Amino acid sequence: MRSSAPAPRVITVVGPTAAGKSDLGVFLAQQLDGEVVNADSMQLYRGMDIGTAKLTLSERGDVPHHLLDIWDVTETASVAEYQRLARAEIDRLLAAGRTPVLVGGSGLYVKGAIDALEFPGTDPGVRARLEEELVERGSGALHARLAAADPEAGRAILASNGRRIVRALEVIEITGKPFTANLPGNDAVYDTVQIGVDVARPELDERIALRVDRMWTAGLVDEVRALEAHGLREGRTASRALGYQQVLAALAQECTEDEARAETVRATKRFARRQDSWFRRDPRVHWLNGAVEHRGELPHQALALVERAVTA
């Protein structure tokens, strides 16, 4: 039965992978005359279904889902482009009297959609030079330069994340300001209620391992093999997605399939911790317990939270 309470302008459902965000988003959309707007960067890619745990049509519960399957795997992800698309969907839904329910664990994408965030431009010449240095000198050397120029950015960006290091150095060179000066604050552009799904690490780690097992059983290797024929290996963003990167390595005989599977579990656990840390920094997120023993209570607690926020 749908709630009679007026809904806020935008709801977000955030948290680490495997926490249960997708199902909660569907429930809230059903209860609040809403529609889901995807905020998972890898679910934007066509054909990347199994490895991203994309909900099937039946699992979406007749709730319209937007910003799924819009990019080819050869396209490089752009937060600025996502921001444009997400705000267009949010504004369209609001104009139609519907509740946008933004669901996903890509922290910068969520902030790009709901917060005042401007993206510095890019300079192809600067980018090309930095990328050439990355190939020649490695990410460690560039990370050392970044840490010297912007210590806060050096702490926030992993030394192994060459793509983000290059972008940070590019922004510093273009703007003459620290990269962190361009990072988002908490100035919202929509009235928003943010819900975080919290699952303790031991249980979350177990869920991640089981999810990876299910992905392999469901045919992740075949999915990657099919996408490879459509340019996945050349896709600068999609080829690095969790699971896909590891399977591509196995298909190239750089490791065994069992090793790829084990590394997918390890990498996903590390990623989930980074997601949790990102969202914990935002004091506007209301955290609810998503543990298995609270699974029956979670949807109704979330709905009550939304309704309290509206009537407060």
**Alpha helix positions (H), the chain:** 21-31, 79-95, 107-114, 124-137, 139-149, 151-156, 162-175, 201-218, 220-228, 244-251, 257-280, 298-311
Q: Which residue has the tokens 């809230």?
A: 28
Average pLDDT over residues 26-43: 97
Domains and CATH numbers, the chain: 9-117+188-311 (3.40.50.300), 124-175 (1.10.20.140)
pLDDT at 122 over 70: yes
Identify the top-confidence range among 11-20, 115-124, 179-188: 11-20
The reply, when asked if residue 17 is annotated as ligand binding, is yes
User: Would you give the distance in Å from CA 155 to the centre of its chain?
Assistant: 20
User: Can you give the pLDDT at residue 183?
Assistant: 66
pLDDT tier, 112 (very low <50, low <70, confident <90, very high otherwise)? very high
* pLDDT tens digit sequence for 165-198: 998 999 899 888 888 766 667 788 999 999 999 9
pLDDT tier, 1 (very low <50, low <70, confident <90, very high otherwise)? very low
* Adjacent-strand bridge partners of 101: 11, 36
The reply, when asked if residue 20 is annotated as ligand binding, is yes
Give the single-character DSSP code of 61.
T
User: What DSSP assignment string belongs to 114-143?
Assistant: HB--------HHHHHHHHHHHHHH-HHHHH
Give the integer Cα–Cα distance in Å for 259 and 84: 39
Least confident piece of the model among 32-46, 47-61, 106-120: 106-120
E-assigned strands of the chain? Answer: 10-14, 34-38, 65-66, 99-103, 192-198, 285-289
The reply, when asked if residue 21 is annotated as ligand binding, is yes
* pTM for the structure as a whole: 0.84
The reply, when asked if residue 15 is annotated as ligand binding, is yes
Give the integer Cα–Cα distance in Å for 226 and 73: 11
Q: Which of 114, 269, 261 is nearest to 199 (CA)?
A: 269
Q: Is the dihedral of CA 134, 139, 140, 145 positive or negative?
A: positive
pLDDT at 126 over 50: yes
* pLDDT tens digit sequence for 40-86: 999 999 999 999 999 999 999 999 999 999 999 999 998 899 999 99
**% of residues, the chain, pLDDT over 70:** 95
Rounded to 10°, the helix 79-95/107-114 angle is 50
